Structure 1
Amino acid sequence: MDKKETCCIKVNLPGGVISAGDLYELLLIAENAGAQVIRIGNRQQLFFCIDADQLEDMEMDMLRAEISYEINEDEFPNIISSYVTDAIFNTESWIKEGVYKDIFDLFNFKPKLKINLVDQHQTFVPFFSGNFNFITSNISNYWYLYVRFPKTTDIYCWPSMVYSDDIPLLSQTAEKMIMAHKAQFYDRQKINHQKFHDLVMAQNDFVTQPITEPLKLPDFQLPYYEGINRYVNNKYWLGIYRRNELFPLEFMKDICTICLKNRIGQLYTTPWKSLLIKGISEDDRKEWGSILNKHLINVRHASNELNWQLENLNSESLELKQQLVRIFEEYDLRTYRLCFAIKMQPKTGLPGSIIIKKQLPDVFDILHTSDFNPNSKDYVTYREKVPKVDLARCLIGLCNHFYSILIDDSISPSVLPNETDEKETHYIYRCQSCFSIYDQTFGDIVNDIIPGIDFQILDEYTCPICDSPKSSFIRIENSMDNIGWRGNL
């Protein structure tokens, strides 16, 4: 029997928020079309899959419900925001629920480029994974803007702060300029930032403020986003993560039903592919616990399983993550203040402290940001062309190195010794057979060599990847000009 053709349906949730009533209606449409589960994407959107022969009826239902969607496409990426963090992961900022909603309401177009609206005081939602990255300043209703031009790692800091009400119009104007001048601003190695700024500003009279101090990013710390937790006014929030990324429709319908019953108006999706519900009262905790029991939902996973960024609907990356997490668990690996991203496709924009980047089938490069902050875009290559079977031990070595640096509390991640000092030559050694790198900064966990051991004083050394002898290694200078050692994803 021929396998039925399936269609993937994507529904954007601007800002990662949806009312319980709207979500319930969407779940019914998905269920009527034959879906059994729904997924959350890394841009806070929703996905479900149906057989192609159910598509026509589903489209009629979506039309009646006035729900926008895409079929097997991602032409209109979701606008993501840190709205989900308000009152639970962040209480310091001027930006609150009303400001977020006012900005969302002003979007009268569907963006084709990625837009992030992020509070600078939190680290739960990524800062620079969008094309237009608006980040709160210390001045109420004014935002920094960092433009990451499409298909590049070129990030441009807008020279003035943007007013909240201007965010939608400025985004639309900037998007039009990029799309109308792709030869200059789209997938280009060199971009004239000043020309781009002048073209955009010539279109409208935007309200701006001068930048009086540079943006200072907080040190990364991923909050534990699972379980039932108390926050303000004796209220609780519930975070739900699914190891297989699948949220059963029956469970989700029960979630919506109890929200409607207890007047919880909104549910939140997160960039970590999880669901979050705020405003649970003390009296209702038992009822929520009963729903979790009914559907056998586990809400206490290990932290080193929660700190991963994966491409959407990608079974290969999910399987690799699960394999690595099992090994991390056996090793009892500490991953606090780190997060991992698996990139099976180029230029996905996924943020991570440590990046696992596919080069060939079952062969990967391992990179990390220079200060191990996932919001950085300065990448350092740690290992190249690592076979899948060796990934775990290389990652364990890199994590242990990170903590060896942090043993001295006076050392900040922002000064981790991975930046090449232009005034001092730093040599590394590369295997001519498999291009594996030995750097004394990191040592070699496979061969039990601690960081700081010069390659020259090693007596009998063999490559941890291909077992080539020490004589197969050549000395090269570790600098920005060395292709394959330092670079951008």
Structure 2
Amino acid sequence: MKDAYTIRVNLKGGIVSVGELKSILTVLKTAQISEVSFGLRQQLIFHLPHSRSVYLGSELSKMNRSYEVDTNLRPNIVSSYVAEEVFQKGNWITEGIYKDILDSFDYDPTLKVNISDNSQSFTPFFSGHLNFVSSNEPNFWYCYLRKPKTNEVHVYSKLIFTNEIVHLSKFVENRLIENPALPVSEIFDSIPDMISVPNEKELKLPKFTLPYYEGFNRYGKKTWLGIYQRNEQFTTDFLLELCELALASKIGELCLTPWKSIIVKGIGEVDRPYWSAILAKHNINVRHAANELNWQVEDASEDALKLKKQLVENFNKLDIRTFGICFGIKTIPKTEVFASIMVRRRRFKLFNFIPTFFVYDISYTEDFDPNGRTKVYFSKGVQRFNLPEQLRRSVLLYNENYLGKVREKPISESKNTKKSKPETIEVHQCPSCLSVYDSRFGDNLAGIPAGITFENLPNEYECGVCEEPKSNFKVIIVEDLVKTTV
């Protein structure tokens, strides 16, 4: 933006206390900043007119809040904390573990650091330089290193203990500062003794599924609210009122997502009308189409956002199925965008030397998994008028790929499994109405998603049918009908 600086404020792990955000927004409003946005790395971003930079710098310094001006040399630490409770299916990682890790970072990394739960697919696993992914061994993490300006990801031979994450991050960063050309093998070999165990099992990540991350959604006896804006802009007036309502509702923090949206957790049933009212007051829609939500667009890029809008409109016109696909748009080299199918804009070079008009390359990751690092080109040098059609064809390729996987296992094979001897499993049964709690299905009536074990249910959990307390449920053994019929 002309005559303005682009300011980035890091909010570690995509978590911000309501009080701190309110203080920042109050300063921005005084500086006549009317809109802000959130970045792919869960940052707060806004444009600051040059004339107001001295005031803003002074006020943010008083708050001990660091920020960057027209640079991104200290990228934010990304975490999957936003998925805790509402998107993941249960793991040993808790709110306290996330916050202990984030609080332990006593420096601002120059490397991109990602902290991810292996049971979720809402936030990217490998978009960082240092990517820590939880293992199935409590408090131990896989470490994947991707050197800056490369696309190759290397896994460390040991699982790192939670408390060692910051020490390892600082060590690797210092080695790369000393010698950027140092091979990854030498970096790994030189890591000092830390609490660790051998990495003996290959990491298995969940199949990518993007949950519908906006609107009001139940979990347990609470509600979470996701708020997305089509233009990626949130007014400071709206956010200030949101902070006031959160404080009045005794909600202490807000979460930012890599999809440039906000998630408010812990809304009580009695307070839900007030949250609906604030959305109505500011005319904020929370029911966008899924094919608009599954896009990753570069931060603060008007060109990329305009292109996304046009491509989404074309999808809507064609009524094409895009379920399961994450799209990305890159108009600037070396930006990190999380995507299954990527649209990259570049200059066509006459005689392979003189830049002329824009053309577009469409690529996709192996298996169409946005966490994949292997890129395959679908088409190159596409002119703008032909881009919607080529993108449509890439979607058809994805759908054909999906059908091919289904055909690999004929229905007759599935039918044959019915003849196998049924296995048994433990479930928990309500003594009053005899309904069963099976962790594979959860309890829709009580707002419990699939994947939550009975032991991990809150102590105040009650039967979704008759409200019998959790403590009265009985363990019973039943045939595993799912395994014997699928």
TM over 0.5: yes
- Unpaired runs of 5+ in structure 2? 348-356, 410-486
SS of 2:121's equivalent in the other structure is coil
Match of 1:373 in 2: 369
Residues 153-164 of structure 1 mapped to structure 2, 5 A cutoff: 153-164=151-162
User: Could you tell me which of 177, 190, 196 is aligned with 2:187?
Assistant: 196
- 97, 116, 119: which one aligns with 2:117: 119
Q: Determine if contact 1:221/1:336 at 8 Å carries over to the other structure.
A: no
Q: Is residue 252 of structure 2 the alignment partner of residue 261 of structure 1?
A: no
SS at match of 1:407: helix
- In the alignment, does 2:380 pair up with 1:390? no
Aligned residues: 400
Q: Does 1:89 align with 2:87?
A: yes
Q: What's 1:450 paired with?
A: none
Q: Aligned in 2, Cα 1:411/1:337: closer, same or farther, shift over 3 Å? A: farther
1:214 partner amino acid: E
Alignment correspondent of 2:195:
207
Q: 1:404: how far off?
A: 2.3
Q: 1:193: how far off?
A: 2.8
Q: Which residue of 2 aligns with 1:330?
A: 317
The reply on whether 1:230 has 2:218 as its aligned counterpart is yes
Secondary structure of residue in 2 paired with 1:410: helix
1:336 deviates by 1.1
Deviation at 1:359, TM superposition (A): 2.2
For 2:400 and 2:150, how far apart are their aligned partners in 1? 33
User: Counterparts of 2:148 and 2:297 in 1: how far apart (Å)?
Assistant: 20
Question: How far 1:4 sits from its partner (Å)?
Answer: 7.0
Q: CA deviation at 1:209?
A: 0.8
- Give the corresponding residue for 1:271: 258
Question: 2-side partners of 1:310 and 1:17: how far apart?
Answer: 21
**8 Å contact kept, 2:89–2:120:** no
Structure 2: how far apart are the matches of 1:347 and 1:217?
25
What secondary structure does 1:46 align onto?
A: strand
* 1:301 matches 2:288: yes
Q: Which amino acid aligns with 1:51?
A: P
CA distance in 1: counterparts of 2:328 and 2:321, whole angstroms: 17
> Where do 4+ consecutive residues of structure 1 move more than 3 Å?
408-413
Q: Deviations over 1:36-64 (max 9, x none)?
A: 01110000000111211111111111111
* Residue 483 (structure 1) aligns with: none
Q: Which amino acid counterpart does residue 124 of structure 2 have in structure 1?
A: P
Contact persistence 2:31–2:55 (CA under 8 A): yes
In 1, Cα distance between the equivalents of 2:46 and 2:97? Answer: 30
- Taking the aligned partners of 2:394 and 2:67, their CA distance within structure 1 comes to 41
Deviations 1:92-125 (A, max 9, x none): 2111100000001110111001000001111100
Distance 1:302 1:141 in 2: 38
Q: What value does the CA root-mean-square deviation take over the aligned residues? A: 1.5
Closer, same or farther: CA 342–280 of 1 in aligned 2, 3 Å: same
Alignment equivalent of 2:304, drawn from 306, 311, 317: 317
- Equivalent residue number for residue 344 of structure 1: 331
Q: Distance in 2 between matches of 1:411 and 1:110?
A: 49
Do structure 1's residue 219 and structure 2's residue 217 form an aligned pair? no
Letter in 2 for 1:311: E
1:319 is displaced (CA, Å) by 0.6
Q: Equivalents in 2 of 1:281, 1:91: separation in Å?
A: 22
Query: Residues 381-460 of structure 1 correspond to what in structure 2 (within 5 A)?
Result: 381-407=377-403, 410=406
Aligned to 1:300, the other structure's residue is in SS state coil
Partner letter of residue 374 of structure 1? P
Contact 1:259–1:265 (CA under 8 A) maintained in structure 2 = yes
Q: Say if 2:57 is the partner of 1:66.
A: no
CA distance in 1, matches of 2:121, 2:155: 20
- 2:243 aligned counterpart, secondary structure: helix
Deviation of the 1:68 alpha carbon: 1.2
Taking structure 2 as the reference length, what is the TM-score of the superposition?
A: 0.80
The alignment's TM-score, normalised by the length of structure 1, stands at 0.80
Percent of matched pairs sharing the same residue: 40
How many Å apart are 1:298 and its aligned residue? 0.5
Give the deviation of 1:15 after TM superposition. 0.3
Q: Which residue number in structure 1 is paired with residue 7 of structure 2?
A: 9
Judge conservation of contact 2:8–2:45 (CA < 8 Å) in 1: yes
* Structure 1 residue 198: Cα displacement: 1.8
- Confirm or deny that 1:47 pairs with 2:45: yes
Correspondent of 2:232 among 245, 249, 252: 245
Equivalent residue for 1:56, pick from 37, 54, 57: 54
